[in-house]
Amino acid sequence: MAAALRVMILCGRSPRHLYVANRLARACEPVAIVHEAGTRLTPAKLARLLRPATFVNKASRWLRDRKRYRGGGEAKFFFGDQPPRLERADLAFAAPHINHESVVALADRLRPDAIAVFGTSLIRQPLLSRGRLGILNLHGGLSPEYRGADCTFWALYNGEPDKVGCTLHFIDAGIDTGKLIAHVCPEVNEGDDELTLFWRAVRDSAEIYAEALARLARGDRLGRPQPGKGRLYQVKQRLGRHERVLEEKLAAGLLRGVRLPPRVTWFDPVVPAASARPVQHAQ
């Protein structure tokens, strides 16, 4: 039986992030679970934040998310009647931001076999080169066609409910452009909405993420280069008018009669065919 991987987990603090961190911690030997505590607000950052366009965009998104997530729906989806919590709170480590020198120092001290990421800021150097087997990430869209933010929303907006899902991939210097490990598409039914589909995709992906760590522990090779860069959706692209259009599409029957089962696609390396050899005749 293969030894469990020593894994450093980097994640956010929302219920979905804690759920995935808990599932991964049960599938490996976790050495640390790192949360971003928030970057210190400097005068320069405050000045950028107070630019009219930036302020309006961030305020609008904050108000929208407050409306979408009110009522504790996410916590109930992932934890039922129990309060969301980290099962390995003893391993929790808070950093000002995910690329802070303290996180790099922690990785250098713990020397994990792999780093598992979900729900953090973009990973940059020098942290990007840590992890003996690389850094894995769970992205809430199907890369490369849906990269960036709000990919469940945009898949529905574009009339492609079959392209709702998550991507497990290795991290490189780009945004959701590293080698693909797996696509995880959730069950889609009439009456579903954006958040339900997103949460369902994350819940299903936690199992595939755990399986990927187990495969790495067995020595399996994972990952295949992405066929292109697809489209990158940015946070600022999602406006109120887009949300109204999707509401109208759903009300008009966008998902009427849709019954898609859960689907998982693994992207293992392509093994080249053996070179043809000439037949050797006996003399």
Q: Profile the chain (283 residues) by mean pLDDT over runs of 10 residues.
A: 87 96 98 84 60 59 58 92 97 96 97 97 93 96 96 98 98 88 98 97 98 96 93 93 96 97 95 45 35
State residue 270's pLDDT score: 77
pTM reported for the whole predicted model? 0.88
**Domain assignment present for 274:** no
Rg over alpha carbons for the chain, rounded to the nearest Å, is 21
- Domain with 147 in it: 6-39+50-266
**Domain assignment present for 272:** no
Query: Is 86 in contact with 21 (CB distance < 8 Å)?
Result: yes
- Provide the CATH number for the domain around residue 192: 3.40.50.12230
Residue 126: asked if its preceding bond is cis (omega within 30°), the reply is yes
CA distance 56 to 79: 34
| SS3 category, 170 | strand
State residue 274's pLDDT score: 47
In 215-272 the beta strands, taken as DSSP E runs, fall at 231-233, 259-260, 263-266
State residue 277's pLDDT score: 40
166-170 and 180-185 as β-strands: parallel, antiparallel, unpaired?
antiparallel
- 9 pairs with which residues across the strands? 33, 116
- 136 pairs with which residues across the strands? 116, 170
Question: For residue 87, which amino acid is it?
Answer: E
**Domain assignment present for 189:** yes
Location of structure tokens 């808990």:
22
- Count: domains in the chain: 1
**Domain assignment present for 273:** no
State residue 37's pLDDT score: 81
**Domain assignment present for 44:** no
**Domain assignment present for 188:** yes
**Domain assignment present for 95:** yes
